[in-house]
Structure 1
């Protein structure tokens, strides 16, 4: 249900299970994590995009048909939770910038998937809902913490307690997404804006925002690197830098 598409500096992890509104089965989380690792390991990759092949549904969340089997299988509940959280942790930890391009419905664990990325760009018809309260279940603590970090405790409580569906404009207003892109294809301008930038800068900035050790040395080292030399010369001569 996932595939990896690569073109130059951009690696796209595409969700392609439109018949099930891109709901992710338990085994799918491990497959997702594997593809994210593969995308991040490419030397050429400057940006990892997570998107859907179906413009009407980004991700409906976890596969409800499988969730029903968890009633009588305590061990599988643990497998499900750990596989899902492992995929999200890997997306957060990957050393390259990540962008979720969200078109159509984004519900439940689909919201968690989007939140695991560094940036979220929504199409104008996107909508969002965090729905565990409709099914008598809860939401993993790490995902709730990510939600609170993005939208604040009050809006997070509103979303999870009511399980209401909100449109893209409201998601932008409360901070669940950073941008609504009304052009076609959705997110193309942001993808180009990031992918054109210096690879060293993207790596160092991602590490710095994540609070990883050694980032001050990366700041110092950058001035001796090829990317700085190219970027500075391009600025001096009023041309577009070529970071290839």
Structure 2
């Protein structure tokens, strides 16, 4: 098991829910290269660990999920270094997006720049009522580099995504909900309990089927993967599983299904 300096990695063995907490409160959990590398390593470890069934990603403290990238570190990069940093961030966030295990973001405050990009890479986003979202990179003469230009457009549409990125405006949690940027907004004190309850409900379903849903939805946005054929293959894959046989038997026998992920 890897150890982390900038993250807290806490697995509830009884539920299989892993909580990954960005833990740089003195920097409002800002992302630097080391933190992004740890996110990548933590998610990779979680995907490979059979004891982990689902993941909650959040930030320490009550002010920020991730307030953005570490600007002091970014300011030291040249063009080649910036390309490497962008590729590193995209690789880590793509791993989250493609995780077959559900990843929910519990957004507990500011989610700006790289923080908004990190939240958008998660499968679902639950925001506290004090959360703020934005891609303010043009204020620094930059653009989002960790997938934000693509995922924000997917979530809120071209026109609104362009407006938010071109103006650098922030949106409050209720507006983010209206736009479809987040799935739920709850009081800050209820954020982790609500997110845990939602993930717990998801985890009562067949693990293989959950992963195949995620994969098929991702295929819709991947120009190299035709969505409908991907769905056909995934549908057949589910039929070959023990969980399918258990799920149909439980339905016919009017009892709760006991899924094993096989």
**TM-score (ref. length: structure 1):** 0.89
Deviation at 1:78, TM superposition (A): 2.6
**SS of residue matched to 1:45:** coil
1:102 to 82, 101, 107: 107
**Is the CA contact 1:132–1:163 (under 8 Å) kept in the aligned structure 2?**
yes
Partners of 2:246 and 2:186 in 1: CA distance: 31
User: CA 1:82 to 1:225, structure 2 compared with 1: closer, same or farther past 3 Å?
Assistant: closer
Gaps of 5+ in 2: 1-5, 220-224
Deviation at 1:189, TM superposition (A): 2.2
User: CA 1:239 to 1:53, structure 2 compared with 1: closer, same or farther past 3 Å?
Assistant: farther
Partners of 1:77 and 1:158 in 2: CA distance: 24
2:130 corresponds to 1:125: yes
**Is the CA contact 1:3–1:35 (under 8 Å) kept in the aligned structure 2?**
no
2:223 corresponds to 1:220: no
2:43 corresponds to 1:36: yes
Partners of 2:36 and 2:251 in 1: CA distance: 43
User: CA 1:153 to 1:243, structure 2 compared with 1: closer, same or farther past 3 Å?
Assistant: same
Deviation at 1:230, TM superposition (A): 3.0
Match in the other structure for 1:243 = 259
Gaps of 5+ in 1: none
Partners of 1:58 and 1:177 in 2: CA distance: 14
**SS of residue matched to 2:57:** strand
Offset from partner CA, 1:149-204 (integer Å, 9 cap, x none): 11111211221122122110000111111222343534122111112211121122
Deviation at 1:82, TM superposition (A): 1.9
Match in the other structure for 2:3 = none
Deviation at 1:238, TM superposition (A): 4.2
Partners of 2:254 and 2:61 in 1: CA distance: 40
Comparing 174-183 with 114-123, which one deviates more in the overlay?
A: 174-183
Match in the other structure for 1:57 = 64
Q: Over aligned residue pairs, what C-alpha RMSD do you find? A: 2.2
User: CA 1:139 to 1:19, structure 2 compared with 1: closer, same or farther past 3 Å?
Assistant: same
Comparing 49-58 with 170-179, which one deviates more in the overlay?
A: 49-58
1:18 to 25, 33, 44: 25
2:148 to 143, 150, 154: 143
2:217 to 203, 209, 220: 209
2:83 corresponds to 1:78: yes
Partners of 1:172 and 1:27 in 2: CA distance: 31
